[in-house]
Each structure stands twice: as structure tokens, then as C-alpha cells.
Amino acid sequence: MKAYGIAIHGGAGTVSRAKMTKWKAEAYKETLKRAYSMAYQTLHKGGSSIDAVIEAIVILEDSYLFNAGKGSVYTHLGTHEMDAAVMEGKKLKAGAVASVGYVKNPIKLAHTVMTKTKHVLISGEQATEFAKDHNLEIESKEYFYDEFRYKQWQKALMNDKVQLDHDEDGQKFGTVGAVALDKKGNLASGTSTGGMVNKKYGRIGDTPLIGIGTYANNDSCAISCTGHGEFFIRAAVAYDISARMMYNKQSLQEASNEVIHKELPALGGRGGLIGIDKHGHIVMPFNTKGMYRGLKSSKNEEFVGIFE
């Protein structure tokens, strides 16, 4: 039987074990488990890896726990600017959105860009208009309101500090993502984020950039990244792992470990990623104190965790 499986993340960061109460950890784990379990069922029934990836990410976007969709942080102007990307490994098709507001599920919007347009990346208010034109769910400002996020923003505003969500006191992390391999041997990946707290100037991170934060290729692997986006961009992380596998004959594990534990730290970059190869091998390296993550595969593997 051909292997299949799903891995997901809810962001990497420097959350401290001390500040993570038991019930909070359980809430995160329960949501992660629900997301990968649903996606795994889809794969088990013969569904596609791209559908499984989107299904898992929608669950994480709809949770207030993660910095994506509903749980997105506030920008400097008090708005929400979300980024997302999806890619499928068979024909290397991809879709992505940057700086969209009010769209309930940016990952669905990215998928719509992939399937309904000739573009890969669209952005800003016009991308929100595109979402409306394609009957995607739009939510009010209230939907995205969250007391913790709001206070986090106010605090950052007072200090005039642009920050990653996980620079904060560790209560909430940034970015969600999923990678999957289906029974047909097709790989897919997706990533979604609410960006940086108090971010200015329409900053775009690595999440919506194909080959950087998100990449899938049936000949190598599917990757979804989380961390300090600027460093991931400069290191072209997702494509670099694929290139090491294709040109350097490294395994997914060797390639991803070198990038996360050598290349990125050399630049000063912190974060992690999840990856799956065509044989169903799953990796989840990170160079931070923790990464919200989970996986389930046809090899009877199942795991959900936060810390090392």
C-alpha cells in the first residue's frame, strides 16, 4: 500500500514552558488534533492532498488560538492583513494572497487564485474584492476582534514596536500550515498567517511567497514554514530544501536539518518548518523553544506537541 499522511503546524516561537498552563496546552493540542484528524480522514478516503491541506488550515484559521484567519494580530493601523499560499506538487500549480482583510479563510482565497486565475499572487484591497467576486466568506471587523490581540497591539503601539506574534509573552503564536501526501502520490502544502503585531508599510513575510514559505513538488517534498519571515526569504527556505533533495541527493531530514539548524541560524533567523516527502517521511525541525505541531500517517504514526 502506498503511504499517505498529513503534518500541520500552528507556528514556531519562543513560548516558555512556565507560561503555558495545562488547559491552554490542551486547547492547542485539541485543535491541532482535530485539524490533522479531519485531514487524515480525507486522505484515508482517497481525497487529494490539496483538499486535506486546505481542510486542516481552515480549522486552524477558524480558531482564535492561532495567528491566522480569526486569530490574526493587529497591524499598526488597527487592521488585519493576512497572507496565505497553497501549492500542489504534480503540476507545480500555486496560488497566494498577501495583505487581505476581512476574508474569513485566506487559504481558500489562495486556492481560488490557483484554480480560477492565471495569477499566482494577488494582494491588498483588490484581492479582497476578488474574494467577494468569487463568493468567498467575508467577515466583519468584530469577527476578528480579540481582547488579547487588541491589548497586544495597543502595547506594541505605545512602544512603537513591530513584532512577531511570538516575541510576545508566549500566549499565542504566529502562522499555521499543513503538508500532505495522498494515495495517488501527490504532494501539497499550504500556509496562512496574520503577520506581525503592529506591522507597518504593508510588510509581506515569507508565508505567501511560493518557494520561500510554501512549496510542493512531487519529485521532492512539500514544505510549510513558520518563523521570522525576512530570514526565510533571504534563505529561500522551502525551495532550498527541495533543491538539496533534487541536486544534492540529501534526504528530507538532512536537507531540512541543515537549513533550520545551520543556514538560518547563520543569518540570525529563528523558526521551523514541516515537510513530507514522496515516501511519506515527515519532518518537523525548529530552532525555537517550541512549535505547535501534529501529524498522522498511514504508517501508524500520530503525534501532537508543543515543546521539544
CB-based contact 223:199 (threshold 8 Å): no
Q: Which of 2, 267, 279, 307 binds a second copy (CB under 8 A)?
A: 267
CB-based contact 293:9 (threshold 8 Å): yes
C-alpha cell at 98: 498577501
Least Å distance, CB 111 to a second copy, is 15
Q: Among residues 16 and 248, whose Cβ is nearest to a second copy?
A: 248
Q: Can residue 248 be called a binding residue for a second copy (CB under 8 A)?
A: yes
Q: Among residues 191 and 297, whose Cβ is nearest to a second copy?
A: 191
Q: Can residue 162 be called a binding residue for a second copy (CB under 8 A)?
A: yes
3 state SS of 99: strand
Q: Can residue 252 be called a binding residue for a second copy (CB under 8 A)?
A: no
The secondary element (H helix, E strand) that includes residue 146 is none
Is 175 a residue of the active site? yes
Instruction: Tell me, rounded to whole angstroms, the distance of Cα 282 from its chain centroid.
Output: 16
Q: Which of 31, 42, 99, 152 binds a second copy (CB under 8 A)?
A: 99
C-alpha cell at 295: 501529524
Greatest CA separation for the chain: 57
Q: What is the rounded CA–CA span in Å between residue 295 and residue 292? A: 11
Instruction: Tell me, rounded to whole angstroms, the distance of Cα 215 from its chain centroid.
Output: 11
Backbone φ, ψ for residue 64 (5° rounding) = -80, -5
Q: What is the rounded CA–CA span in Å between residue 148 and residue 287? A: 26
Q: Can residue 125 be called a binding residue for a second copy (CB under 8 A)?
A: yes
Q: Among residues 15 and 238, whose Cβ is nearest to a second copy?
A: 238
Q: Among residues 27 and 246, whose Cβ is nearest to a second copy?
A: 246
CB-based contact 86:189 (threshold 8 Å): yes
Q: What is the rounded CA–CA span in Å between residue 304 and residue 242? A: 25
Q: CA triplet 259, 260, 265: central angle to 5 degrees?
A: 95
Instruction: Choose one: 138-146, 178-186, 207-215, 275-283; the region binding a second copy (CB under 8 A).
Output: 207-215
Query: Which residue in the list 42, 75, 128, 175 is annotated as catalytic?
Result: 175
Q: Can residue 209 be called a binding residue for a second copy (CB under 8 A)?
A: yes
Q: Can residue 53 be called a binding residue for a second copy (CB under 8 A)?
A: no
Q: Can residue 71 be called a binding residue for a second copy (CB under 8 A)?
A: no
Q: Can residue 50 be called a binding residue for a second copy (CB under 8 A)?
A: no
Judged on CB neighbours under 10 Å (0-12, 13-18, 19+), 246 is: middle
Binding to a second copy by CB under 8 A, coded x per residue (else -) over 211-240, reads xx--x-------------xx--xxxx--xx
Instruction: Choose one: 35-43, 90-98, 275-283, 289-297; the region binding a second copy (CB under 8 A).
Output: 90-98
Q: Among residues 114 and 179, whose Cβ is nearest to a second copy?
A: 114
CB-based contact 114:108 (threshold 8 Å): no
**Residue recorded with cell 502506498:** 2
Q: Among residues 32 and 85, whose Cβ is nearest to a second copy?
A: 85
Q: Can residue 200 be called a binding residue for a second copy (CB under 8 A)?
A: yes
**Residue numbers annotated as active site:** 175
Residues of the shown chain interacting with a second copy in the complex, contacts defined by CB under 8 A: 77, 92-94, 98-99, 117-127, 129-130, 162, 200-205, 209-212, 215, 229-230, 233-236, 239-240, 243-244, 247-248, 267
